[in-house]
Structures are given as structure tokens and as C-alpha cells.
Chains A and B, each alone.
Chain A
Amino acid sequence: MSILTASRLRVARRRLIHAVPVLVLATFIVFGILKLMPGDIAITLAGENATEERIAEIRQNYGLDRPFLVQYGSWLWNAVQGDLSRSLASGEEVAVQIARSFPITLLIVVMAMGFALVFGIPLGILAASRPDSLVDRVVTSIGSLGIAVPNFWLAMIFVSWFALEFGWFPATGSVPLTQDPGQAIWHAFLPALALASGGMSEVSRQLRSSLVEVMSSPQVRTLHAKGLTPAAILWKHGLKNVSVNLLTVTSLLFNRMLAATVVVEAVFAIPGMGSLIVNAALFRDLPVAQGVVFVMVLVVISVNLVTDLLYTVLDPRIR
């Protein structure tokens, strides 16, 4: 059976068409917010003791004196042609900045997803296999703790212990995957672990509740009656039934982690997408902020699209 059936292509096409207004709206809102915020990059660019004339001159040079909609329109027009423009603050091409920062963030998020699934799934199964037992209560408590503890706090604890006290991991920074994969993973380990805590809890709790529901269904009672072993019921029937739920949780988690890296990147001084957009917002560096939002929205839309397609693979009833 081909993966790309006509109906799936239809889903993909529909999703892509929906993506266009989302993309425009998201970038427009960010542009608007940055414009509404007090402060003016022209003042920053003009340096200390700048005269009013110099500031006006800079506004004109960078086109900051044009009407709001004209500025947005011109940015959008260039962006759809693949030109994300240059940073106002430093003159570097936004595309270059994103190409450098995105892989760093992606590595952390992918590793964090890995941690969340590797720890979260077994914990969820464990809890669901003996509902309301001591094991279940312990797992649920760990889950609550994982969600309650802010990941930036956890990140700071990790730095204090594993980087400063024991010296096992680097306290700050990152290494590109292409330069040294071992070092890249080593640098991303603590940030990813800190980022994963909430995700791990969410995966285990969601998996537990869906599994408990499935395992108490009449269908499973029938399977028991047919004489299947509990292990076979769990692996062959239970997990298959909760896979759609798990996929939903995973994709939501991935999108949320992309955003949550902002804080973790700040703690570890990682020059990823989070740092990029925070700096851009602080300096009113519109092209950079817009570029990051543009790319992030594209990523989220792609993740959602892949998720939608995977639904139809996992559960043929979904069209």
C-alpha cells in the first residue's frame, strides 16, 4: 500500500492552503506587537549622544519612517521570494542567522523529545498496568512534579550540580552537530534533559489514562476471556489503541518544546532560535524577529501536517 494515497495528498493540500493565512496572521501580529512596543531601534543604532537629525536620518535609511502597512508588505513580499532581509542591529543576513541557530535548537528539542518518550512511555505503561497501586501513585506523583517544576529552575539545578559541582557537562554554549557530533550531543544533554521533564510527565500521564481506559473496555475483557496473556493484550491491542493519543501528545509536545527552549537557551547561553528572537525583540530588530516567527510557523505547520498524515496511517478510520 502506498503511503501517499490520493486521500492523504488531499489532506496535505488542504493543510497547506490553510497554512497561508496562519503564516500571514502570525507574522502580522508579531510585526504589530513589535511596532506597538515603546522604543525605537533608530535610537539604538544612532549610538550615544545622537542628535535628533541623525536619528531621523537613520529612520529614513532603514525605511523605518514608512507607514506600518508598507513596511509589513515590503517584508512579506521579500519573504515569500525567499529573502528574509538583514538584521537591522548587525547587518547579518537573517537567513544565515536562522540557518546557524535552528539546528542547535532542533537538536535540543529532538533530544528532549527522545528523553520524554524513552522515560515517559515505560512509566505510563507501568502505571497503567496496575491502576491505583503504589507503583501507579508513585508514577503519577513523579508526573505531577515534572509538570509543576519549571524547566528553567531545573536547568539551573543541573548547571549547579552536573556542570559546576561535578564538572560532568559543560555549563554553557553549544557546538554545531556538523562540527563535532559527540560534543554537540554532550553540550545539548543538560538543556534537553531540563526541557524534557514536563514532556516526560505529560507523556506518562496521558498514556496511563488512555491505557487504563482501553484496558477496562469490553473489548479487552473479551480478549482476556479468549485466554490471551496480559502482556499480549497490552502490546498487541492496548498500545495500538492508544497510539493516536500518543501521537497527538507527541506533536503538541514538540511544538511546545520549540517555544520552551527560549528559557532553557537563556540559562545555558545557547545561541539557538530562542535567543535569536529574544534579542531581536529586545532590540526591536524586526527583520530577525519576523524571520524567526516565519520559520517557526513553517515548522509547526509541517509538524502538524506530518501528524495528520500519520493519523491516517495509524488509524485507517481517520480520513
Chain B
Amino acid sequence: MTSRKKSDLRLPFAPMTRREWLMMMGAGTAAALLPGAVFAQGEPRRGGVLRVSGFANPSSLDPATGGAGSDHTYLWTIYDTLVEWDYKTLEPRPGIAQWKFSDPTTMVLTISPNVLFHDDTACDAEAVKFNLDRGRGDDRSNIKADLSSIDSVEVTGPLEVTVRLTRPDSALPAILSDRAGMMVSPTAAGKLGDEHDRKGVGAGPWKLVEWADNQNITVTRHEKYWRDDRGFVDGIEFSIMPERATGLRSVVAGQNDLAYQLPPRLKPLIDRSKDVELVTGPTLYCRQIYLNLSRGPLQDVRVRQAMNFAIDREAFVKVAQSGFGEPAHMNLPSSHWAYDPEVAKLYPHDPDKARALLAEAGFKDGFDLTIGGYTDADSVRRGEILMDQLGKIGIRLRFTNGTVAEISAQYFGQEKKFDSLVSAWTGRPDPAMSYGLMYAKDAYFNAGRVEVSAELTELLAKSRESEDMAVRKEIFSRLQRIVMEQALVVPIAFDAEMTAISKKVVGYRPNLIGKPKYEFVSLAS
């Protein structure tokens, strides 16, 4: 009893930082731990209200005008998407619509009948066209870039929309599983104008009741929801608690049923509570060192390769992530549909080889490398581990730490400060988006704006051409190989999703995006 008290006393001190809401998603060792245990607990019961501790106020409850990665978990309750994805592999699947490419630049969407928005407007071809045009053209839309391959959208039947593209884009289905595919009621959007940000109306399993800033969001059952195999709870109440340790405490105390994207170091608190269990799974969230290929020693591929050989990824996962997550050998985790195990073998931990490569590149005595980082305790700790590992081959990291917004803007934006940046890639529904955004010549996240090779540029374009998954997988293998052989990045580790759920929560499934969806969740009576 005494020891229990003592350990409980320690828990609240786990230093929590604001930045974790940007940084945490989840990855995992724990793929093995989860799925079986949490699903398969009998027929889901309808009813009850799920209480969730969320850690960030939404930027907007309109999918087109919002911008924060933390919005999705709220948006998915209110909005159904045209396309959905497989929880485990992210392979696209039909949502509200089925898609078919009649030729590489024409995509036909066939919309499911009987889909109604919360305001009884039909989600038909006109509504889908309205949404795609709004995403492409509205002044306040944040998803214009996602839909940039669309030339025109035509209604070709009551439930059929034909999308004409300016260039082949097989990433479009996956793009339509994200914000761009979340269907908003045209009636509500027209009537509410900017107010739709706060009063979003969609066709999802639940409709919005209330959103009080930084306090709570409440959604209740959409009685006319078009599918009966999901949306089991009568409603969901989100309490917004920025401190994740506090959010977890609310679950331990029984005030909430679920808290997500928790840092691994809070695991002891979950373990000690008999009414709460941990659900983990792999995610796309990749911690990595971004390299500015136009600067100093980093122009030499041997230096970049040396850095990749110098990193002990297994040790990093163990120390920095309490063993959760998986070592990253490329920008995709091992459970992703486009993962290539051969590419993963390119950089075993080999400091001798790293030193040899450095010597060959003319840096026998090492060199100083400027690097941007973030100020929160966890980031600093990760930085120290990397400093030690790279220090062993003579690369001396010179850190400048600041807030995420500030340091990222200094590194990627006009200023072009630092040779490198230790940060993360949050992942995208389609790998073509990730690779395009990080390695295309003019991509924002390619800080040096360097064209690596004509072949890479060609493959980036090609990765969007075919919709045959086998063909695409082959293209991504080649892409990944070039990225890693050229060592354009130093991937380190994938985070694990870490969600604490009360034992009465049934059917919760983690997903590769690492943000919770509640469509299959029910509550035990």
C-alpha cells in the first residue's frame, strides 16, 4: 500500500510539454500487443456516451479551412470521407464513393445512395462537386494544394461525378481520404458562411452539438446515418485537456474513457491502474534528421551515408521511446503497404564504416554540423542521444533550439538557417505525397531545393501515374532506394500510437495514421 502511494505521488511530475501535441502520434512494437485483444469482444452494444480526453482545441470544424493535424479525430466523427483507408496498411477503400480511373487523367466517383447530411441535404453528385470545387477554389481553403491535379469536376449522373485531371494522379483516392474527401453539407456551408468553421455539418455518424473553445466538444448520433455497421455510441464528449498527463489522469480517475497520443513515459501510470488498458500500434510518424543538401559537408553523399551508418536506431527506440515504436530505415513503417524490406537493410549500425566514409570524404577529424531542434524536454533528450551517436564518428552537432513554428520556419523557409533539423515527418495518406513534399526539387520540405537526380524526379511523377497497387509498390521501392542510397534524410524511429482506454471501451482499433477513429467503438454495459 505504501509503495503504491509513493509511486502514485511521482506520477504527476512527468514533465509534459505543449509541443507533444504536435509531436506525439504513435508507432510500434505493440502491433503485436493489440489488435486481437481489443476487437473481438462480441456484438457491439448500441448506446452510451463515450468520453474522450482530447489535447488540442480544433483549429476549425470545417475540414477545408482547418489546418492542425490534431483536428482529424474530431472531424472524423462529424464527416464521412469519399474514400477511406485500411486501419493497418492505409490502403485506400471506398467510403461514401467508389472510384475508378477510366483513363489516367479521368476519375469517376460513384456515390453510395441514401447518404444524408445532418441537415437532411442529400450527399449526391451535386454535393460532391460542390465540395471538390470549394476545396479547390474557396479563398479560405487550406486544401488547394492537395487538389491541384484536378482540372474540372462534372456531374455525370445523380450519383456520379467525373473528375478530370491535368496530370495522372493515382494519389488522389488517398487524398480524398483526408480533409479533401470530407463532405460538408452544401446547404449548411452556404447558409453559415464562415460560421461553418464552428458549426460544421457533415454526413458522419455523429452530428455536432456544441463546441466550447478549449473546453469541450459534444457530438450526438446522426439518426439517418447511412451505414449500420458502425457508429455504435449515442454520442461522444471530448474534454479538451492540453496536458497529456492530466488527460490520462482523467481516464484513470474514471472521468473519461479514452486518452490518446500519450508519451511512452506515461505507461507506468496506465499499468498501475486496474481499470485502464494501453492500446498501441505502429504509425507513420517518423522522427528524422532533415538534411540541407546544398550546405557544406552535407553536399557529399558519403557524409550523409556516414550519418545513417552512425545512428543506432534500436538503442534510440529503447532509450528515447521506452521501447515503443520501431526503428526507421526509410520514411515508411514495416506495416505499410509500400514498405520494402530490402531497402531497410541498407544502413545497419556500423560506426567503423561511418568513420571510413567520413575519412574518404576528407573529414577524418570530423566536423561541426549546425542543427535546429526544439526546446521541450523530450526533444532535448532525443537531441542528446543523437549528439552522442554522431559524436562517436566525429560529427559534432551544434544545436539551436526553439519553438516548432520558429525553428521549422527558419530551416525550411526563406532564412535557410542550420545545416540540418531534427524533427519528424507526420506522414500522409499516400506515400506519393510524402516523397513529393520532401524530395521534389521545389518542395518546401526539401530545404536545399536540390534536384537529387533526374531519375528521382521521374519516379516522383510516375508514382502518381498508375493505380495498380503492385506497380506503385514497385515504383515506391525504387524511390525509397534512391532516397536512402543518396541518404537524403536520416530516418531514426517511428512513434507508436499510445491510447489509454477504460476497460468498458470495446472495439477500439489503432490505425497507421495514429489518430483515433471511434466508428467501431462501443461501450460495455
- Chain A interfacial positions (CB closer than 8 Å to B): 38-40, 43-52, 54, 57, 61, 87, 89-92, 97, 100-101, 156-157, 159-161, 163-165, 167, 170-173, 266-269, 271, 275-276, 279, 282
Contact = CB atoms under 8 A, between A and B. Distances in A.
Contact of A39 (B5, B250, B406, B445): B406
A38 B402 contact: yes
Given A160-B9, A279-B214, A91 B142 contact: no
Contacts, number: 136
Interface in B422-466: 426, 437, 444-445
A172 B402 contact: no
A159 B249 contact: yes
Interface in B1-44: 4-5, 8-9, 11-13, 18
A64 to B, nearest CB: 14
Nearest to B143: A47
A163 B12 contact: no
Nearest to B11: A160
B239 A173 contact: yes
Contact of A54 (B144, B247, B254): B144
Nearest to B5: A165
B249 A90 contact: no
B142 A46 contact: yes
Contact of A163 (B58, B60, B216, B249): B249
B416 to A, nearest CB: 13
Interface in B250-287: 250, 252-255
Contacts of A164: 8, 249, 252-253
13 contacts: A44-B68, A45-B59, A47-B68, A50-B67, A51-B444, A89-B57, A90-B57, A90-B213, A92-B213, A160-B8, A171-B246, A173-B239, A282-B18
Interface in B224-261: 239-243, 246-247, 249-250, 252-255
B370 interface: no
A89 B70 CA distance: 13
A90 B252 contact: no
B255 A170 contact: yes
Main SS of the interface on chain A?
A: helix
Contacts of A40: 405, 409
B241 A157 contact: no
B403 interface: yes
B197 interface: yes
A275 B56 CA distance: 12
Contact of B194 (A43, A87, A91): A91
A282 B144 CA distance: 27
B257 to A, nearest CB: 13
Contact of B58 (A47, A49, A90, A172): A90
A282 B405 CA distance: 11
A101 to B, nearest CB: 8
B214 A47 contact: no
Interface in B291-330: none
Contacts of B57: 89-90, 279
B444 A49 contact: yes
Closest 6 CB pairs of A and B: A47-B67, A156-B12, A171-B253, A269-B241, A271-B215, A38-B406
A97 B18 CA distance: 21
B213 A87 contact: yes
B67 A48 contact: yes
B241 A171 contact: no
Nearest to B426: A48
Contacts of B215: 100-101, 271
B66 interface: yes
B377 interface: no
Contacts of B8: 160-161, 164-165
A170 B483 CA distance: 51
A173 B250 contact: yes
B69 interface: yes
A275 B9 contact: no
Nearest to B195: A91
A13 to B, nearest CB: 37
A264 to B, nearest CB: 12
Contacts of A43: 405, 409
Contact of A46 (B58, B67, B214): B67
A166 to B, nearest CB: 11
Given A87-B213, A92-B213, A266-B243, A172 B249 contact: yes
Given A54-B144, A165-B5, A92 B198 contact: yes
A170 B253 contact: yes
